[in-house]
A and B are shown apart, each in its own frame.
Chain A
Amino acid sequence: MTTSFHHSTGDLRLEVSGLGVVYANGHRALSGASFSLTGGTICGLVGPNGSGKSTLFKSMMGFVRPSAGVVTINGGPVREALKAQVVAYVPQAEEVDWDFPVSVWDVVLMGRYGAMNFLRRARLSDRLAVEESLRRVSLWEFRDRQIGELSGGQKKRVFLARALAQGGRLILLDEPFTGVDVQTEEAIIVLLRELRTSGCIIVVSTHNLGSVPEFCDQAVLLNKTVLACGPTASVFTEQNLTAAFGGVLRHFHFERSTIQSHDGRSVKIMTDDERPLVFGKDGHLEYKDREGRESLIDERRRRETEAER
């Protein structure tokens, strides 16, 4: 029965319908949230802090009891999917105790616990799965290291390897790209695309807006409920993002360059995290906040009028 999850060639389905969550202390984290995903796909879960991203994750792992609605995986309850080892979770780096006395090997082996016997003794098949997973994320050479002795990118890959060793088909990643260098980010994206090809559903919770259109096929925009969901291009509109983030986003309107005039086409940059560093066409710095730099635009106009003459 339970193996049907692993070996099913049919598409994996995740369905969230009318989900509402109220915590015991009275905090309402989500209400009426609905969307569905079919594997293989990479889906970005986007919303400001406190929008219910982690509550949604917890619901998909059965940690919180919904006050309304339901989450189903392959048409069945979450509990069944957990028993079948379908759901794998890759935690945020901040949630991990990196001083914990476990090695890279130990952590990845933890992915196999659900498939092991009562005493959690590793069989040959478990060790092979761990080795294969470690090699896939290029950490085989580091298997005996205590986890705190790894670099930021390696740390992230340990937990990805754990999800691989588990054989999870619905993979939940919490902020996978914070504190990770560009090369690791690319390596992780390549790996996620491989998993997508094999039919997995990968849900990535992130507040890194820019990364979502880069590698997510679909996006779910969240703020206490699902505001929009579907293909990334249709979800990531200025209107939707403004609705989700309100005034939290930083806007950069590019029809008004500080230094140069435009050809009529405009570019808009939005970010909810860092203030972006923006360079104009010839590599000059652009300023959003022009206080004290008002003269720059006057100067541009003067140059333009001079050129016209």
Chain B
Amino acid sequence: MNLYTEPWWELFGYEFMREALVVGVVVAAMAAVLSCFLILKGWSLMGDAVSHAVLPGIVLASMLGLPLAVGAFVAGLGCAVASGFVKRHSRLKEDTVLGVIFTGMFGLGLVLYSKAPTVLHLDHILFGNILGVSRAQVWQTALIGVGVLSVVLARRRDLLLLCFDERHARALALPATALHYLLLSVLALVIVVSLQAVGLLLVVAMLITPGATARLWTDSFDWMLVVAVVVAVVSSVSGIFISYYVSGSTAACVVLVQAAIFLLSLMGSRWRARRFRGARRVP
């Protein structure tokens, strides 16, 4: 007998499925909004770096009996801050410094994991375990999600200006440094919350692909936010269902759907560009 033949709407009857969908949708929406800022600021690698750098934080927090999210947040933010410091005090470029620091921290995390007694499952950290979230984690995700979304959306104009022209923001006496750290903290927070859903290896996809897809659809930033959230939520929900039927990794299915939508959008934008070539572009 094949277990996986029930129609998709009956899956809502399972509690683990309902919880997975809530977490998946919240994480997708949060990461999608943030991705619009990250791709415009050129921080795609920063997302990758911070997500890897949380590993030693998680392991240490588990050893010390602290909440894992706290350890992850501190380690992720620490990686970004340390990179900024090293870059200012050397002749190296930011991506170089980031590459050195985040791989170093990831290595430290792996060594700590193998040497220290902990109840953590490495594959849950690396690949996520969305079908196994606890009720408390659902609440934690939902609360942080609402908080992150309201702060980022309320400050979106300032954050957008920071991405577009930081000097102008400073010349207007806007708190550019505070905004910079706000964006970094939100990034670290979103990664920490997303770990449960997609794991640290694939979270960077959630932080890049929706924004990149949305950019192909529109020249307006506000519309970009809308398209990114829709794309991410659709990918997340359908990815969770698909993973159930194919018994595949949930995170991988979500990311695959996102990548497929990106590819279709890319082809669509090429087609539109050919059809309306030069209609508005001024040489």
Contacts and interface: CB of A to CB of B under 8 A. Distances in A.
Interface of A: 24-25, 61-63, 79, 82-83, 85, 87-89, 91, 96-97, 100-103, 106-107, 110-111, 113-114, 119-120, 145-146, 149-151, 154, 162, 166
A106 B161 CA distance: 10
B158 A114 contact: no
B88 A25 contact: yes
Given A25-B89, A101-B215, A149-B280, A63 B170 contact: yes
B164 to A, nearest CB: 5
Interface string B251-268: 000000000000000000
Contact of B154 (A61, A83, A89, A119): A119
A82 B221 CA distance: 27
Interface of B: 40, 88-91, 154, 157-158, 160-161, 163-165, 167-174, 215, 218-221, 224, 280-283
Contacts of A101: 40, 215, 218-221, 224
The main secondary structure of chain B at its interface with chain A is helix
Given A101-B221, A113-B157, A61 B282 contact: no
30 contacts: A24-B88, A25-B88, A25-B90, A25-B91, A61-B167, A61-B170, A79-B173, A85-B173, A87-B171, A88-B171, A89-B171, A91-B168, A97-B40, A97-B164, A100-B40, A102-B164, A103-B220, A106-B221, A107-B164, A110-B165, A110-B168, A113-B157, A113-B169, A114-B172, A119-B154, A119-B157, A120-B157, A120-B158, A149-B280, A154-B282
B281 A114 contact: no
B103 to A, nearest CB: 23
Most buried by A among B89, B154, B165, B168: B168
B214 to A, nearest CB: 9
A46 to B, nearest CB: 21
Nearest to B221: A101
A89 B167 contact: yes
A62 B157 contact: no
A24 B89 CA distance: 5
B159 to A, nearest CB: 10
A25 to B, nearest CB: 6
Contact of B170 (A82, A102, A154, A166): A82
Contacts of A102: 160, 164, 221
A90 B238 CA distance: 47
Nearest to B171: A89
B168 A89 contact: yes
A91 B165 contact: yes
A232 B224 CA distance: 49
A101 B219 CA distance: 5
A83 B171 contact: no
Contacts of B164: 97, 100, 102, 107, 110
Contacts of A103: 219-220
Contacts of B88: 24-25
A145 B220 contact: no
A103 B40 CA distance: 15
B174 to A, nearest CB: 6
Nearest to A27: B91
Contacts of A89: 167-168, 171
Contacts of B170: 61-63, 82
